[in-house]
Amino acid sequence: MKTLTVTVISAIALLFSFAAQAGQAEKEKTMHEMHAMMRMMDNALCQALEGANLMMFGQMSGADKIDRDMIERGTTMVNDGKAVILKMLAGSEMKAMHKEGGYNDKVMHDLHALGDRMLHVIEEVEKLHGEAFKEMGKK
Ligand SMILES: [Cu+2]
């Protein structure tokens, strides 16, 4: 009887151990995914800001033909950078992650707060370079 009890308790402990390991692996997987998303967002913000620089330079450089190319390329980079951040924050991967759960709540909260601020920065830049967007239509 004692042996049976020990065996059953060991089996239960082993099952809990496997469950805990599976939970840990799931947490590490979602943490890795969130880090990958942040990496993409960092890159997208840099791209958008670099694009804004091109737009600004295109507006003031005086190199007629290249100016238009710079403004066009800059506009594309700003729009693409913004789209990547939006996709990371609300795209299919993020939706799946929220559906499946198992992620670190604080890191997820911070990731969304960071993304919202990144979008705010890009929107401010868009406002500042709004003239370039208008110029795009005229040239
Ligand atoms: Cu999220």
Cα 89 to middle of ligand 1, angstroms: 6
Cα 109 to middle of ligand 1, angstroms: 7
Helix (H, G, I), strand (E, B) or coil at 47: helix
Q: pLDDT category, 138, cuts 50, 70, 90?
A: low
Does a structural domain hold residue 18?
Answer: no
Does a structural domain hold residue 87?
Answer: yes
Does a structural domain hold residue 48?
Answer: yes
- In single-letter form, the type of residue at position 121 comes to V
Does a structural domain hold residue 15?
Answer: no
Does a structural domain hold residue 86?
Answer: yes
Q: How does pLDDT run across 101-123, given as a tens digit for each residue?
A: 999 999 999 999 999 999 999 99
Q: How does pLDDT run across 33-63, given as a tens digit for each residue?
A: 999 999 999 999 999 999 999 988 988 888 8
Phi first, then psi, for residue 24 (nearest 5°) are -65, -45
Range of the domain at 126: 27-138
Q: pLDDT category, 137, cuts 50, 70, 90?
A: low
The Cα–Cα gap between 58 and 35 comes to: 34
Kindly state the tokens that stand for 81. 């950078």
Does a structural domain hold residue 7?
Answer: no
Does a structural domain hold residue 12?
Answer: no
Q: pLDDT category, 4, cuts 50, 70, 90?
A: confident
Cα 112 to middle of ligand 1, angstroms: 6
Assess contact for 111 and 37: CB atoms under 8 A.
yes
The residue among 32, 20, 19 whose CA lies nearest residue 97 is: 32
Q: Rounded to an integer, what is the distance from CA 92 to the centroid of its chain?
A: 12
Cα 30 to middle of ligand 1, angstroms: 11
The Cα–Cα gap between 137 and 130 comes to: 12
Domains of the chain: total: 1
- Where does residue 91 fall: left (phi above 0), alpha (psi -120 to 50 degrees), or beta otherwise? beta
pLDDT at residue 132, rounded to an integer: 59
Assess contact for 50 and 41: CB atoms under 8 A.
no
Checking if the pLDDT of 29 tops 60, the result is yes
The Cα–Cα gap between 122 and 116 comes to: 10
Does a structural domain hold residue 1?
Answer: no
